[in-house]
């Protein structure tokens, strides 16, 4: 029987709130089975860009990553945020190591084509080096990945953290029983975005299509769900979308929290 591996992605809403981040990292440290943490960037890069007079362009809610912005997010994601998370995990007893996709040649990406929209130095995941990530896990380290990849030719690329988490979970499912968790500020996928108690407990391919047709899934949630179904189809055991505060309770007690995505 394969050993469980927990791949957990946290978003900006947790990173931007010191109290929430500290509480989450305490919960994360309570998970004693092999685990990987993947984080995005939050508002810090945007705030610093403003202070440094680096213009920021957003298209459909996605950041255009020009050369100056790439320098900035590399410093923020791979430096400031990564090292603060690693330091907090170390204080909680985890032997964490902060990584980008370039470290140990872990995550290779292709620069997104400029047509129809030029997003600049944005990468789409091409390959995950599961063998090297496994060596890090086997050595007893907790990998903490920021959402930066590389193209194999020395170019760093900004990559969607949800997609990166899905790709890593999929790649690791060859050696482990992979479980993928998207942790954010809501209790799960909500049928009514204004009602915290309207959590949809389980979504499968058939009711997913029905929920979309009925307009019951918030547009911003659809890319996350598409990533979740992609992971399930490629060997990930289960995907959970849930509130960060419920993560360790779900893993340790096996009780139902948030929304579970199944095949």
CATH number for position 51: 3.40.1160.10
Q: Tell me what pLDDT residue 79 has.
A: 97
Instruction: State the pLDDT at residue 247.
Output: 87
* pLDDT value of residue 58: 86
pLDDT at 251: 84
112 annotated to bind ligand: no
pLDDT of residue 172: 98
Q: Which residue has the higher pLDDT, 192 or 190?
A: 190
Residue 60 pLDDT grade (very low, low, confident, very high; cuts 50, 70, 90)? confident
Confidence of residue 129 (pLDDT cuts 50, 70, 90): very high
This prediction has a pTM of 0.94
Higher pLDDT: 1 or 132? It is 132
Q: Is 255 marked as binding a ligand?
A: no
Residue 213 clears pLDDT 90, i.e. is over it: no
Q: What mean pLDDT comes out for the span 219-228? A: 83
26 is in an annotated binding site: no
What integer pLDDT is reported at residue 165 of this predicted model? Answer: 96
Quick check: 218 pLDDT over 80?
no
**Most confident of the following: 150-164, 188-202, 216-230:** 150-164
What angle do helix axes 161-172 and 130-138 make, rounded to 10 degrees?
A: 80
Q: Place 227 in a pLDDT band, splitting at 50, 70 and 90.
A: confident
Give residue 246's domain range.
Answer: 4-261
What pLDDT score does 123 carry? 97
Q: How many domains does the chain have?
A: 1
CA angle, residues 202, 208, 211, in degrees to nearest 5: 100
């Amino acid at each position: 029987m394969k050993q469980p591996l927990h791949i957990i992605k946290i978003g900006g809403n947790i990173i931007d709130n010191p109290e929430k981040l500290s509480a989450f990292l305490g919960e994360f440290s309570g998970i004693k089975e092999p685990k990987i943490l993947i984080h995005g960037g939050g508002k810090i890069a945007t705030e610093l860009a403003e202070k440094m007079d680096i213009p920021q362009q957003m298209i459909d809610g996605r950041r255009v990553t020009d050369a100056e912005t790439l320098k900035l997010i590399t410093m923020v994601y791979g430096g400031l945020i990564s090292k603060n998370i690693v330091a907090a995990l170390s204080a909680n007893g985890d032997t964490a190591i902060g990584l980008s996709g370039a470290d140990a040649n872990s995550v290779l990406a292709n620069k997104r084509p400029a047509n129809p929209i030029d997003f600049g130095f944005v990468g789409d995941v091409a390959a995950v080096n599961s063998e090297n990530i496994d060596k890090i896990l086997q050595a007893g380290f907790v990998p903490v990945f920021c959402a930066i990849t590389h193209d194999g030719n020395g170019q760093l690329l900004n990559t969607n953290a949800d997609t990166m988490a899905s790709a890593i979970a999929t790649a690791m499912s060859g050696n482990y029983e992979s479980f993928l968790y998207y942790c954010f500020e809501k209790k799960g996928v909500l049928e009514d975005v204004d009602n915290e108690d309207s959590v949809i407990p389980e979504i499968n391919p058939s009711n997913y299509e029905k929920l979309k047709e009925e307009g019951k899934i918030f547009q911003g949630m659809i890319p996350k769900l598409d990533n979740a179904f992609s992971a399930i189809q490629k060997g990930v055991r289960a995907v959970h979308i849930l509130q960060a505060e419920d993560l360790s309770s779900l893993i340790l007690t096996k009780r139902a929290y948030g929304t579970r995505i199944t095949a």
